[in-house]
Amino acid sequence: MNAFNETIKHYDHVDILINNAGILDDSIWEREISVNLNGNIHGLILGMEKFLKTYRQSEEAVIVNISSVCGIECYGFLPVYCSIKLAIIGMTRAWGCPAHYEDSKIRVICLSPGATDTPMMQNLEPVRLIAGHYANTRAGCGSRGAGTNNKVRQKRKRLDR
């Protein structure tokens, strides 16, 4: 909330909000849900009900929710994180429906980037080892099954050359 207040002090208005909260550690899954899911829901609702209704300059506004490729593809070694990111995609689809847009003139969209070199990713060597083992020994989740993992392995082989 402080960052938003500072932005308003400096710019007077805001028409675009980036809604992103993230930790990656399924071993502390309750905190992961609190930060990643509840934080994003809270940010979206505050953005729609308070900030953009009050402080936007344009007739329309945008909220960009940040999910992850983990919400699109299932990674069995990160079940809680993947579930949360899938929920953010679902939340975006629900709040982004035409009825909400017509009522609020706030467009809600989602970006789902792949792994990005951030501090969150710095201490993930154990996750990388598990991920490599999982991709090589098990079929993927969801409707695409083993085909997805075969495609990933083929891409890795091409990149390793």
User: Which pTM does this prediction carry?
Assistant: 0.75
The structural domains of the chain, with segments of one domain joined by +, span 2-115, 124-161
The residue written with tokens 């991709």 in the block is 135
Q: Which of 11, 55, 81, 101 is catalytic?
A: 81
CA–CA gap between residue 48 and residue 128 (Å, rounded): 37
The tens-digit pLDDT sequence of the chain (161 residues) is 688 889 889 999 999 999 998 888 888 999 999 999 999 999 999 999 989 989 999 999 999 999 999 899 888 888 999 999 999 999 999 999 999 999 999 999 999 998 777 776 666 655 555 555 555 544 455 544 444 445 544 544 555 55
| Contact predicate 47/41, CB 8 Å | no
| Contact predicate 83/33, CB 8 Å | no
| Contact predicate 105/59, CB 8 Å | yes
Q: Please report the pLDDT score of residue 22 as a whole number.
A: 84
101 part of the active site: no
* Bridge partners (DSSP) listed for residue 61: 106
| Contact predicate 72/83, CB 8 Å | no
The CATH architecture to which 2-115 belongs is: 3-Layer(aba) Sandwich (3.40)
Inter-axis angle of helices 146-160 and 125-137, nearest 10: 120
